[in-house]
A and B are shown apart, each in its own frame.
Chain A
């Protein structure tokens, strides 16, 4: 019974490079959520996706960040031209249809921007 999987677990990038974070939801879950946790902070909602649709991106920065959840394959959070302030832990969660409150979280990807 595989839970939410995220890879890579750790990612180091230099300023200006691109970061791609992957999330494979629990099998059968069609809803994916991305959260970011800065040091000493709580998790902050970024985006909520269903297969091939962005439902709520109210927490996404206006520039450089994008997310997708294609029909096949994992959900991807993409950060272009990373800056030091992007260094954080990025968590993905998934839930079954019509059961948003049961969000299962992955172990997170820790992004470090040098």
Chain B
């Protein structure tokens, strides 16, 4: 039973355009959401996070939007750069847990020059 779903295995975007990566979740007890970026043969790198009490968080080119009623969050990257090409994982924490994160399967983003 997948509690965090990334339904698009891959996404291709032109350099300079916006990349939108989507994530859906089923557990209403999740209180914190994170996005990680992963290059091949490396560990995930933290990108940006959002608490369930907010609906938007922005950090430079990265913005995460949270729609609690739809149990949906998205990561926007503007403008996209070739160096952004990687696998992006959405992760969530259940309220009351002590830090174990539940990950989606990832979306592979390719930014073409």
- Measured CB to CB, the residues of A under 8 A from B are 4, 31, 33, 35, 40-45, 48, 55-56, 58-59, 91, 93, 95, 100-108
Please tell me if B42 contacts chain A, counting CB pairs below 8 Å: yes
A-B contacts, CB under 8 A, total = 61
**Taking CB as reference atom, which chain B residue is nearest A95?**
B99
Known: A41-B105, A44-B103. A4 touches B43 (CB 8 A): yes
B49 touches A101 (CB 8 A): yes
**Taking CB as reference atom, which chain A residue is nearest B102?**
A45
**New A-B contacts (20) at CB < 8 Å, excluding given A43-B91, A100-B99, A101-B49:** A4-B43, A31-B99, A35-B101, A40-B105, A42-B6, A42-B89, A42-B106, A43-B44, A45-B102, A48-B99, A55-B98, A56-B97, A56-B100, A58-B100, A91-B44, A101-B93, A102-B46, A103-B101, A104-B46, A107-B41
Q: Which residues of B contact A4 (CB under 8 A)?
A: 43
Q: List 19 A-B contacts (CB under 8 A).
A: A35-B101, A40-B105, A42-B4, A42-B103, A43-B44, A43-B91, A43-B103, A48-B100, A56-B98, A56-B100, A58-B100, A59-B100, A91-B44, A101-B32, A101-B34, A102-B46, A105-B43, A107-B43, A108-B42
